[in-house]
Amino acid sequence: MSKSLVDVPPMGGFSFDLCRRNDMLAKKGVNPPSFRKTGTTIVGIVFQDGVILGADTRATEGPIVCDKNCEKIHYMAPNIYCCGAGTAADTEAVTDMVSSQLQLHRYHTGRESRVITALTLLKKHLFNYQGYVSAALVLGGVDCTGPHLHTIYPHGSTDTLPFATMGSGSLAAMAIFESKYREGLNRDEGIKLVCEAICSGVFNDLGSGSNVDVCVITKRGSN
Amino acid sequence: MSIFEYNGSALIAMVGKNCFAIASDRRLGVQLQTIATDFQRIYKFHDRLFMGLSGLATDAQTLYQRLVFRHKLYQLREERDMKPETFASLVSALLYEKRFGPYFCQPVIAGLSDENKPFICTMDSIGAKELAKDFVVAGTASESLYGACEAVFKPDMEPEELFETVSQALLSSVDRDCLSGWGGHIYVVTPTEIKERILKGRMD
């Protein structure tokens, strides 16, 4: 206790001082709590002018829905957004942290952020924690090199794809994409396809539900 | 047995018209034995910011003491009170810092932000914020609390009506939970006054 009083403000990063006590409790048969997961369907596609990201809005705590309208599409940069699935605290913390790092980088370089920068920062952090930071992300954005869409797994591996899905509803959404996706979709067709994929996740997966959030990113701006 | 069921707790915060209510039960137990019937779970940080802590009582008290420390430092540096949104971010950061060895607490934060708009939020034990526009619940009775609040909530309630609604939801939910109960403690906060009331419920 005295050591932490000296440490104000804290140095940043994780603090492990309660681990020993928690392990002792676990040995005595007292189980740790379940964390809030986002049991989700998140998707992204590349269309002719940019990238469209979509997500459902249900947050679960075990079998109970604790938030009927939570935001899973996180802001990273004016031209980059990221959807998160997995443990809610991890996705929020990791995307907030990388968003601040990108802002500092923009001040340093005086240029618009690139999607590949966000990707590298995220995968470095997740690999560092060997999958214990349980965040599965779909990262999408448009920069000077064009539109990009990536998926990032909790252990730090990444894929670059024209269409991607993650979360517990990912199989249902991927089925829609595999049958209906084609290159060079226009904005309305793209939005319709993303909504269909999320709805498929919402109806067929118990962990996804409530509303659908859609984010369209183009060279001109995001909304 | 889950660590959250060691002491037992029930917390609600609900939004009304330019006011909010935050309520808790009063039992402190060690598994099935009750050891106190006047345990305080809701703490006031300043006139427009309250926080309730459910879960393991020892972690709740430790976390409260750390937060009072940080808030007092903030008041000295900034010469003003902390806004509820800022406070919620502080609590979230403090909890996430202990991601791999967490505090076994779930906070419920309620306050009046700029222009007297009520703000409520809850978090899980590692700091995942959940902002709601209507009500938030926490504790061992949370499943019944969700149901009760969903049934009785109406938007834009006046303080007196809000008090009645929250009391009904709390007392009926803790009656269905062995680990919480022994009455209720409820604060109804408006921009001009704070009304604190003790509720008498089934004392079992």
Query: Which domains, ranges and CATH numbers included, belong to chain B?
Result: 3-199 (3.60.20.10)
Select from A33, A35, A64 the Cβ nearest to the Cβ of B146.
A64
B72 chain-A contacts, CB cut-off 8 A: none
Burial group, residue B189, by CB count within 10 angstroms (0-12, 13-18, 19+): buried
- Contact flag B124-A70 (C-beta cutoff 8 Å): no
Q: How far apart are CA A188 and CA A204, in angstroms?
A: 24
A6: pLDDT strictly greater than 60: no
Residues of A annotated catalytic, as ranges: 40
Residue A36: closest C-alpha in chain B: B124
HSE-CB for B21 with a 13 A CA cutoff: 32
Confidence class for position B202, pLDDT limits 50, 70, 90 = confident
Q: pLDDT for B56-103, tens place per residue?
A: 999 999 999 999 999 999 999 999 999 999 999 999 999 999 988 899
Rg (CA), chain A: 19
Give the lowest-confidence range in A63-72, B98-107, B168-177. Answer: A63-72
SS3 category, B105: strand
Domains of chain A with CATH codes? 41-222 (3.60.20.10)
Beta-bridged to residue A109, according to DSSP, are none
Note the pLDDT of residue A38: 59
Residue B103: closest C-alpha in chain A: A18
Q: How far apart are CA B28 and CA A148, in angstroms?
A: 54
A8: pLDDT strictly greater than 60: no
The label of the residue with tokens 């090199």 reads A145
- Contact flag B101-A30 (C-beta cutoff 8 Å): no
- Contact flag A8-B103 (C-beta cutoff 8 Å): no
Give the containing element (helix H, strand E) for B75.
Answer: helix B57-78
Note the pLDDT of residue B103: 92
Rg (CA), chain B: 16
**Is the dihedral angle over the CA atoms A145, A148, A154, A156 positive or is it negative?**
negative
Q: Is the ipTM of this complex over 0.85?
A: no
Does residue B150 sit at the A interface (CB-CB below 8 Å)?
Answer: no
